[in-house]
């Protein structure tokens, strides 16, 4: 894989200087075009051997192009805010917006390689990390991002010579690499595992480019040309760029029976039972959230449901059990301008709670496969791939100790009508009913089908959906609280088991 990058590529000074002016102008041109179109972001990953010119090349790119449109991000030591959240959070918070370029040093690849070279993880964990990177990049590309991945290479001999030269130059000693490159073994391991990573993650949508790092002219010109051609290509594509894929459409089940039909919406609780159980479940919830095992977890809860199904009321009963300092409630409406300049999962990633905390999403990322699907705000390809992306997202949360609990509050059409009419009559509730609600009601069957697909495709062991019979608000609220309590207890029990095993 690295053979072609050890053959002594070089460009002489005259050729280099003759080529640069035209390249620079062309790069500036595409950069401004990118900014004008604001159709997609550019993400440039910089990896490879120490001393192979990574930093110098990025510096050169900043000189050639307009640095005001480039964000250079390093991911060294994690901050304590980052350590309290899933590993990918730090990358999500630094993604460039559409029309801009982000250069990521010390990205997900450096982290997995360092861990493997240091023997902090084994091959199996490395492969998991590789698969995670693939899924992340695939998703970013599907959302329109243009990703360039550069691997700067040196042979071992070249590297040793280069490190010696750098050590003598006081200007280069201020940033210490976390790997001890002076050891011959480090190089061998890094190249060995690097090859594995590159092999697995070089994909049509985001291929690796291996650059021989010895000659500054060669590596600068090569990187510049790759960027230029990639950008020119992407900018020329028509606006509604069709993906090559043609997923088979989802069909309604042929017997017209859906999961939601199987719910017994007549379930109800009388007032006395409700009040007794409410106090019990709220106290239980309050206790669990104060349990010291909660410090290793965070809680995310998603509330979806028919309009007027009682999401707000259920959320209030959940919140009432807690100290308001422990939870955040995030109401989700149409995305803002800044949010539309990012992948659709971006705004949810920003709100992921730190350990010990609880975030309630009042509507959520499932809007992608509900309202966006039904209203045609995204293409069928977009929402079809969303099921997988959402499963990946929730798996990352779960792996970081975040407990994910998802509710669909279901009512029947008559109950909805009654509640709509009641809302229009009660002054302080009239804000809760809009034209949109009546329009959505006309699409009742579309939503029913979409909910069925959503549950089929995203109700997983790690983040199951709970369908809540919500014709009776009391029943619904108790079921919600009880489900949250069970989820916390299950997670704590698993942690205990895990801790015990470790002690043995």
Binding region for a second copy (CB under 8 A): 25-26, 28-29, 32-33, 35-36, 55, 58-59, 62-63, 66-72, 74, 79-81, 103, 105, 171, 174-175, 286, 290, 312, 315-316, 319-320, 323-325, 328-329, 331, 336-339, 362, 427-428, 431-432
**Residue 411 CB coordination number (10 Å):** 25
Shortest separation between residue 318's beta carbon and a second copy, angstroms: 10
Q: Give the residue with the Cβ less far from a second copy, 179 or 322.
A: 322
Q: Give the residue with the Cβ less far from a second copy, 68 or 271.
A: 68
Q: Give the residue with the Cβ less far from a second copy, 362 or 446.
A: 362
Q: Give the residue with the Cβ less far from a second copy, 72 or 374.
A: 72
Q: Give the residue with the Cβ less far from a second copy, 35 or 381.
A: 35
Q: Give the residue with the Cβ less far from a second copy, 44 or 191.
A: 44
Q: Give the residue with the Cβ less far from a second copy, 323 or 490.
A: 323
Strand, coil or helix: 277 = helix
Shortest separation between residue 177's beta carbon and a second copy, angstroms: 13
Shortest separation between residue 292's beta carbon and a second copy, angstroms: 9
Shortest separation between residue 278's beta carbon and a second copy, angstroms: 13
Shortest separation between residue 426's beta carbon and a second copy, angstroms: 8
Q: Give the residue with the Cβ less far from a second copy, 78 or 379.
A: 78
Whole-number Å distance between alpha carbons of 146 and 30: 13
**495, 296 Cβ separation under 8 angstroms:** yes
Q: Give the residue with the Cβ less far from a second copy, 3 or 428.
A: 428
Q: Which long-range contacts (CB under 8 A, 24 or more apart) does 227-231 make?
A: 227/27, 227/44, 227/61, 227/148, 228/23, 228/26, 228/27, 228/30, 230/146, 230/148, 231/27, 231/30, 231/31, 231/34, 231/42, 231/146
Shortest separation between residue 94's beta carbon and a second copy, angstroms: 11
**453, 369 Cβ separation under 8 angstroms:** yes
State the burial class of residue 441 (Cβ atoms within 10 Å of its Cβ: 0-12, 13-18, 19+). Answer: middle
Place of tokens 């609220």: 477
Q: What are phi and psi of 476, to 5 degrees?
A: -60, -45
> Terminus-to-terminus CA distance in the chain, angstroms?
43
Whole-number Å distance between alpha carbons of 491 and 495: 6
Whole-number Å distance between alpha carbons of 164 and 50: 12
Shortest separation between residue 67's beta carbon and a second copy, angstroms: 5
Sign of CA pseudo-dihedral 408, 409, 411, 415: negative
Shortest separation between residue 472's beta carbon and a second copy, angstroms: 21
Shortest separation between residue 434's beta carbon and a second copy, angstroms: 11
Q: Give the residue with the Cβ less far from a second copy, 121 or 330.
A: 330
Q: Give the residue with the Cβ less far from a second copy, 7 or 167.
A: 167
Residue from 217, 211, 174, 218 nearest 44 by CA = 211
Shortest separation between residue 252's beta carbon and a second copy, angstroms: 33
Whole-number Å distance between alpha carbons of 329 and 347: 14
Q: How many Å is the Cα radius of gyration of the chain? A: 27
Residue from 356, 350, 460, 334 nearest 406 by CA = 460
Shortest separation between residue 74's beta carbon and a second copy, angstroms: 5
**187, 85 Cβ separation under 8 angstroms:** no
Whole-number Å distance between alpha carbons of 215 and 49: 14
**451, 260 Cβ separation under 8 angstroms:** yes
């Amino acid at each position: 894989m690295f053979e072609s990058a050890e053959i002594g590529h070089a460009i002489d000074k005259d050729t280099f200087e003759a080529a640069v002016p035209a390249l620079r102008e062309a790069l500036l041109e595409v950069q401004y075009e990118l900014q004008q179109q604001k159709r997609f972001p550019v993400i440039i990953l910089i990896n490879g051997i120490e001393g192979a010119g990574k930093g110098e090349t990025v510096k050169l790119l900043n000189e050639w192009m307009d640095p005001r449109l480039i964000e250079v991000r390093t991911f060294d030591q994690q901050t304590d805010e980052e350590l309290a959240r899933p590993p990918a959070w730090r990358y999500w918070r630094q993604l460039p917006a559409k029309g801009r370029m982000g250069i990521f040093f010390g990205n997900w690849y450096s982290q997995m390689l360092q861990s493997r070279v240091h023997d902090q993880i084994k091959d199996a964990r490395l492969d998991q990390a590789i698969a995670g990177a693939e899924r992340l990049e695939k998703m970013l590309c599907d959302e329109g991002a243009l990703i360039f991945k550069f691997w700067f290479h040196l042979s071992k001999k070249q590297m040793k010579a280069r490190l010696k030269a750098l050590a003598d130059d006081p200007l280069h000693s201020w940033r210490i690499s976390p790997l001890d490159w002076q050891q011959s073994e480090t190089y061998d391991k890094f190249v060995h595992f690097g090859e594995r990573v590159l092999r697995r993650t070089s994909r049509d949508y985001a291929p690796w480019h291996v650059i021989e790092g010895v000659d500054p002219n060669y590596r600068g010109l090569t990187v510049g040309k790759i960027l230029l051609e990639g950008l020119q290509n992407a900018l020329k594509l028509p606006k509604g760029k069709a993906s090559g894929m043609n997923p088979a459409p989802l069909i309604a089940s042929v017997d017209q029976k859906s999961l939601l039909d199987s719910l017994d919406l007549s379930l109800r609780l009388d007032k006395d039972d409700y009040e007794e159980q409410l106090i019990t479940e709220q106290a239980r919830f309050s206790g669990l959230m104060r349990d010291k095992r909660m410090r290793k977890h965070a809680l995310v809860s998603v509330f979806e449901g028919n309009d007027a199904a009682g999401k707000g009321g259920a959320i209030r009963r959940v919140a009432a059990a807690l100290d308001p300092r422990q939870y955040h409630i995030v109401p989700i409406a149409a995305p803002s301008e800044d949010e539309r300049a990012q992948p659709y999962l971006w705004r949810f990633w920003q709100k992921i709670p730190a350990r010990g905390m609880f975030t309630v999403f009042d509507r959520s990322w499932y809007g992608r496969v509900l309202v966006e699907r039904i209203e045609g705000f995204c293409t069928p390809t977009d929402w079809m791939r969303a099921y997988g992306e959402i499963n990946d997202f929730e798996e990352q949360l779960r792996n970081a100790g975040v407990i994910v609990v998802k509710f669909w509050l279901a009512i029947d059409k008559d109950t909805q009508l009654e509640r709509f009419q009641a809302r229009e009559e009660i002054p302080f509730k009239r804000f809760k009913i809009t034209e949109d609600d009546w329009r959505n009601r006309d699409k009742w069957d579309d939503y029913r089908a979409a909910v069925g697909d959503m549950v089929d495709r995203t109700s997983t062991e790690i983040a199951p959906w709970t369908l809540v019979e919500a014709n009776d608000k009391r029943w619904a609220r108790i079921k919600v609280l009880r489900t949250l309590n069970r989820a916390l207890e299950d997670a704590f029990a698993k942690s205990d088991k895990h801790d015990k095993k470790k002690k043995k």
